[in-house]
Amino acid sequence: MKKLIVIPFLLLMVMIAPVGCRRDAVPGRHIKVVMKKYSIDPPVIRIGSGETVELLISTADVQHGFDVPKLGIKHPIQPGQTVSVVLHPAKGEYEIVCGIICGPHHEDMGGKLVVE
């Protein structure tokens, strides 16, 4: 009797499962971002509204933090490693800051993400 109940239930779950699955958008563009004392290159990152972009973030010297507070992005960037961040933000301007103290002019280090 249990088999008669379990088998239809499993078949139903197999049929319903793909409906809830969502495939993330594939980035149309890849942008290299290099952090170094005390700048972010490029200082302004421009993307189109509705565009999915992958940022490939690295550091040229010490550890930095790639933070975009309005988007909830906060990633440590270690020397010798590249961090991938996929974005699909709404139209607007977003401040990029270094979230890890990297030296005496740390507070001057920043950039901007512009979604047009």
Q: Which domain holds residue 93?
A: 25-115
Which two three-digit tokens encode residue 80? 């010798």
For every residue of the chain, which 3-state class applies, written as one string? CHHHHHHHHHHHHHHHHHHHCCCCCCCCEEEEEEEECCEEECCEEEECCCCCEEEEEEECCCCEEEEEHHHCEEEEECCCCCEEEEECCCCEEEEEEECCCCCCCHHHCEEEEEEC
Cβ atoms of residues 94 and 68 within 8 Å: yes
Residue 51: inside a domain, yes or no? yes
Question: Would residue 19 count as lying in a domain?
Answer: no
Q: Is the residue at 6 inside a domain?
A: no
pLDDT higher than threshold 70 for residue 99: yes
> What's residue 10's pLDDT?
53
Residue 14 lies in a domain: no
- The C-alpha R_g of the chain, in whole angstroms, comes to 21
Structural domain includes residue 77? yes
Assigned domain for 41 exists: yes
Q: Is residue 11 situated within a structural domain?
A: no
Which of 24, 37, 31, 23 shows the shortest CA–CA distance to 115?
31
Instruction: Read off the pLDDT of residues 19-46 as tens digits, 9 standing for 90 and up.
Output: 444 445 788 899 999 999 999 999 999 9
Residue 8 included in any domain: no
pLDDT of residue 6: 54
pTM of the model: 0.77
CA distance 24 to 36: 31
Token couple for 13: 């779950």
CATH code, domain carrying 29: 2.60.40.420
pLDDT in tens, 67-90: 999 999 999 999 999 999 999 999
Give the chain's domain count.
1
